[in-house]
Amino acid sequence: MVDKVLVLGGRGHIGSGVTQDLIAHTEADITITGRVPNAASAQVNSSNSRIHFLSLYLNDETSLRKAIAEHNLVIHCAGPFRIRDASVLKLCIEQGVNYLDVSDDRAFTKNALAQSEAAQSVGITAIINTGVFPGISNSMVRQGAEQMDSVERIHLSYVVAGSGGAGVTVMRTTFLNLQHPFEAWIDGQWKQVKPYTERETVEFPAPFGSRGVYWFDMPECYTLADTFSAKTVITKFGSTPDFYNHLTWLTAHAFPSALMQQRDFVEVLSKVSYGMTSVTDRFTGTGVAMRATIEGFKDSVPSKYSSSFAHDNAAIATGIGTGSIAQLLLNGQISKPGVWAVEQALPTDLFEQVMKSRNILIHQH
């Protein structure tokens, strides 16, 4: 039987990246959804006979339940996840259908992980946070953590050029994450941190080089601390060109908090920012780079490991992270009933295998 994959939000930049990877590395038939007229289906179907279009609203539970039941894997790409709940995952559990998502929000992550017992009871595998960061970044940490006897400190840094090719949704996600202080796991306890503070310079692979990064709320802070029993997990993010970092800092620290919590204002801010990046993307590109540093002990000796990654398009890199796990689920190489973060479900040998098949190089030191 031919595998059938449902990509929610598949007409977006991230969903398109996931679909491209699925077409290249699986034999599955793919249904992509979007909130556009049915006439768009003809254009989609003409591009590839394995891709089909379904007009679908996530709040139409009856239609969503029917669509899920007709597929054997659902990939949730319809962000921003700050405003989503675990309803899609719950419907997948109800229908007995495996699930992936590209979520990047801590509250969403906690809600999803709370469904693990229900997923186990029906035998479905659900893996969350499967993009590039979180996603590939989590597996980079596992690569390093497995080379140590114990992990003390994890430091993850990310930088994105302009829009990252990810559309206006990434802008919404950024501004939503700037609204409140968040809890970071530092020295064995949760401490409040203000977003976009404590800039530090990190060396990334070419063409990025040295770039400034700032505290940023990411769900891997929560999952990695639990998975590896680390005492400290740091997640920092930056943009290029650097003047975007300064504009983001002003947004986080100079704009009235009441204004930043108005959805209409955030929407206007997101669209203006995306318009700016549509100009600068021509000069900077839309790439992404990451660095993971893990400190711990090996044979009772303090040890330090680092790895780095770069790709010329952040949206495509996200598609690779999610598509590679979808491939492993579809061919039966991953089967782990429950709800898991990437580093809890994806063995390092399989991670390295799928990255190699996609010509992705992780530099390890």
81 and 174, same structural domain?
A: no
Query: 212 falls in which pLDDT band (50, 70, 90)?
Result: very high
The label of the residue with tokens 């009235």 reads: 256
159 and 106, same structural domain?
A: no
Per residue in 341-359, pLDDT (tens digit) is: 999 999 999 999 999 999 9
Q: Angle of helix 106-113 relative to helix 220-228, nearest 10 degrees? A: 50
Q: What is the count of structural domains for the chain?
A: 2
Task: Please report, for the domain that includes residue 192, its CATH number.
Answer: 3.30.360.10
177 and 306, same structural domain?
A: yes
183 and 124, same structural domain?
A: no
Per residue in 36-83, pLDDT (tens digit) is: 765 444 445 556 899 999 999 999 999 999 999 999 999 999 988 988
Q: Measuring CA to CA, how many Å separate 150 from each of 200, 230, 301?
A: 26, 8, 10
pLDDT of residue 37: 62
186 and 59, same structural domain?
A: no
Answer whether 303's CB lies under 8 Å from 296's CB.
yes
What ranges in the chain are assigned the alpha helix state H? 13-25, 40-47, 61-69, 87-95, 106-113, 116-122, 136-145, 168-176, 220-228, 243-253, 257-260, 263-284, 314-330, 342-345, 348-357
The answer to whether the bond into 219 is cis (omega within 30° of 0) is: no
Listed range (111-115, 140-144, 261-265, 318-322) with the worst mean pLDDT: 261-265
DSSP secondary structure code for residue 333 in this structure: S
- Domain housing 178: 136-311
- Is a pLDDT exceeding 60 seen at residue 94? yes
* Mean pLDDT to the nearest integer, 273-294: 90
Q: Which residue has the higher pLDDT, 305 or 164?
A: 305
15 and 101, same structural domain?
A: yes
Total-model pTM:
0.93
300 and 168, same structural domain?
A: yes
187 and 45, same structural domain?
A: no
Q: Angle of helix 314-330 relative to helix 348-357, nearest 10 degrees? A: 120
For residue 365, being part of any structural domain is answered with: no
273 and 143, same structural domain?
A: yes
* Mean pLDDT to the nearest integer, 208-224: 96
pLDDT of residue 284: 86
The label of the residue with tokens 């394995």 reads: 50
**Angle 246-250-252 (CA atoms, 0-180°, nearest 5)?**
115
Give the Cα separation of 234 and 27 in Å (integer). 39
Give the Cα separation of 70 and 52 in Å (integer). 13
- Is a pLDDT exceeding 90 seen at residue 248? no
Question: Which secondary structure element, helix H or strand E, spans residue 235, and what is its range?
Answer: strand 232-240
* Mean pLDDT to the nearest integer, 287-313: 97
* Mean pLDDT to the nearest integer, 252-268: 80
Task: Please report, for the domain that includes residue 58, its CATH number.
Answer: 3.40.50.720
286 and 218, same structural domain?
A: yes
323 and 231, same structural domain?
A: no
